[in-house]
Amino acid sequence: MSHVDLMAGPPPTHLPQDPAAERLAAGEAPAAVVRDLPASPFAWAALAEQARDQGADDVTLYAFARVGYHRSLDLLRRSGWKGHGPVPWEHEPNRGFLRCLALLALAARAIGETPEWERCRDFLRESSPAAYDALLGAA
């Protein structure tokens, strides 16, 4: 007789390959990729990072990261995620979502939205301690 561990959490969620990742790696502009693949967490994360790196205001960064975050939630749910549980950084296709979440946390903090900063920071840490360390560890 086998036993089920009722105290175990949900299994890790592994998102499918994001076609935007290859296009971005080849040097395509994030805005062009977003136009073609608006559901792509990788594309929105790249667009938010580009905006940040080019000195865009925090509200713009917040908007790009929020869109990417919400598109990511849709993808997570379609991949079996039930609103909690691990989303490992080690699984490369998860990184678009995790980057959007970290960028949203940082932008929320920058515009003074402390409860959102704390919620997103904690969500990232709970989803993937490795992503938290890589993306917010020094924040």
pLDDT at 1 over 90: no
Phi/psi region, residue 119 (left: phi>0; alpha: psi -120 to 50; beta: rest), is: alpha
Q: Please tell me the predicted confidence (pLDDT) of residue 50.
A: 98
Whole-prediction pTM: 0.92
| Residue-wise pLDDT tens digits, 26-70 | 999 999 999 999 999 999 999 999 999 999 999 999 999 999 999
pLDDT at 6 over 80: no
With vertex at residue 84, the alpha carbon angle to CA 64 and CA 122, rounded to the nearest 5 degrees, is 60
Q: Please tell me the predicted confidence (pLDDT) of residue 2.
A: 57
Q: Please tell me the predicted confidence (pLDDT) of residue 4.
A: 53
| Residue-wise pLDDT tens digits, 66-119 | 999 999 999 999 999 999 999 999 999 999 999 999 999 999 999 999 999 999
Give the dihedral sign, CA 54/55/61/65: positive
Q: Please tell me the predicted confidence (pLDDT) of residue 138.
A: 76
